[in-house]
Amino acid sequence: MTVIEDVTGLVAVVTGGASGIGRGIAQRLVERGAQVVIADIEEGPLEAAAEEIGAVGIRTDVTDAASVQALADQVVERFGKVHLVFNNAGVAPESRIADMTLADWRWILDVNLDGVVHGVHAFLPLLKRHGEPAYLVNTSSMGGFVADMPGLGAYATTKFAVMGLTEALAHELRREGSNVGAAVLAPGTVRSNIARSLRTRPSGPEGSALVQNDISEDPELAQLRWLDPVDVGDVVLAGLARGETHIVTHPEWYPMVGERAARIEAAFGRAAD
């Protein structure tokens, strides 16, 4: 089992690092002595965040495999190796599945799923190469455990996929005795600007069904425990120090996961009758 208790001097890469959870993770890494590269598609916020937290900023489009590979190449050229990779970039617009266009689907899949695939493909060989303890963390969501979130069916689809990808990778790495660990981050309610993610969508066909609502303004959701992004950074680093494969920010939400597990268990029970 890979455990990383001290990140001092380690090289870390965080996608979606200019804001929200990515920036929170990056900030905590910098504060604890890591050498941090943040990658983001928005150049202005990227430059500002890099300067403010003391990281290196590299503009990257995670939907483009060549862009992610260029990020990996630049990190190795500058630092020689990489130890921690956080595939964190993501979007969360809303729509009923029945109303979505194929272009809507393509964009969400490109960012939330292909962005992770591109990160794993580009960085996993580099994490293995040096043989030192290393970790790859993919951001899913509580929506990767439970899909009952009105308007977020497509988002949940991608986050379930990231959950499966990461669990499979963690098993593979463990079986081969790799120096690399893999974990999936499943955050709940966090104060970030993911509610504004449509701002990053390239212009495309007319007729999109996607809208963007700020869930923090929902009176029911406003009663939940909301974390600051740097708090998520603390949770993530604590998870790496324990060698976790699942890192959750809101343990009090487990009853939702338990209810889903109970329904599945009941279905298996009925099938056995």
Q: 3-state class of 270 per DSSP?
A: helix
The closest of 65, 48, 66, 70 to 57, measured between CA atoms, is 48
Half-sphere exposure of 251 (CA within 13 A, CB side): 3
Residues 247, 242: Cα–Cα separation, whole Å: 10
| Whole-angstrom distance, CA of residue 95 vs CA of residue 212 | 9
C-alpha angle 99-140-38 in degrees, rounded to nearest 5: 110
Helix (H, G, I), strand (E, B) or coil at 96: coil
What is the distance between the alpha carbons of residues 27 and 240, in angstroms, rounded to a whole number? 16
Angle 141-240-230 (CA atoms, 0-180°, nearest 5)? 60
Known catalytic residue at 155:
yes
* Residues paired with residue 36 on neighbouring β-strands, in sequence order: 12
Report angle CA 261, 120, 172 to the nearest 5 degrees. 60
Tokens of 155: 């988002």
What amino acid is encoded at 135 in this protein? Answer: Y
What is the residue type of 158?
T
φ/ψ of 138, rounded to 5, equals -110, 130
Q: How far apart are CA 166 and CA 110, in angstroms?
A: 17
The catalytic position among 107, 123, 155, 160 is: 155
Q: Which residues are marked as active site?
A: 155
